[in-house]
Structure 1
């Protein structure tokens, strides 16, 4: 299983964090096999970069995305809770409505964002 943080909007429109796990099959690969997750349907891939001191105020995301931090770190705040994400962390970003979340980075960051298909 892969650890992942989900950011979503609750019923009142407040952004929240949820720790989730992405299943892998088989759970433990053998010496000549791979573990793989289910397919995440995506329409594209973008890279986003921020310089040291950058960030944004509370805002919802324009579309669902799966992000993987490639370098640096980012502090993301949702409903008063702040978490720091660093290289290798995975985020499922789904707060496309409501207040949204804010972010800031002390040292800058680079993230790969897969733009996910709408949920079925």
Structure 2
């Protein structure tokens, strides 16, 4: 199920952007959340189908799925590489080193960009298996 905020945003008139959260490291090694938007442009993607809204395409080298079971918990760690995560099922709670805690579930998008410094910690919340893309 889509995050209700994302679903209402997509279905409210012109879907000209998607929101996501970036986890990043500042110049002194502390990690933070940052709310960002991806611009979507209307294009003729597959005529005669109606136009769609798409972001600029980004290069990728690999992609995959990840799954963890309820109760999974990690201590502080930096991400092994810069990566987008799209939440398909279950709920994750993430904490950054400035003390802020946020929850992410189906429909959420994060850019995990804290490859240096203390990193973040995450844990599965609830009873559902976590599936990420």
The equivalent of 1:118 in structure 2 is: none
What TM-score do you get using the length of structure 2 for normalisation?
Answer: 0.78
The equivalent of 1:88 in structure 2 is: 107
* Bigger helix fraction: 2
* Bigger strand fraction: 1
The equivalent of 2:14 in structure 1 is: none
Q: Output the CA distance in 2 between the equivalents of 1:40 and 1:91.
A: 15
Q: Output the CA distance in 2 between the equivalents of 1:13 and 1:46.
A: 28
Bigger Cα Rg: 2
What TM-score do you get using the length of structure 1 for normalisation?
Answer: 0.86
The equivalent of 2:36 in structure 1 is: 20
1:46 is displaced (CA, Å) by 1.6
The equivalent of 2:46 in structure 1 is: none
User: What SS does the aligned partner of 1:43 have?
Assistant: coil
Point out the more displaced range, 47-56 or 69-78: 47-56
The equivalent of 2:69 in structure 1 is: 51
1:106 is displaced (CA, Å) by 2.0
1:111 aligns with 2:127: no
**How big is each residue's C-alpha offset from its partner over 1:5-46, in whole Å with a ceiling of 9 and x where there is no partner?**
00110111111100000010039xxx8111010112111112
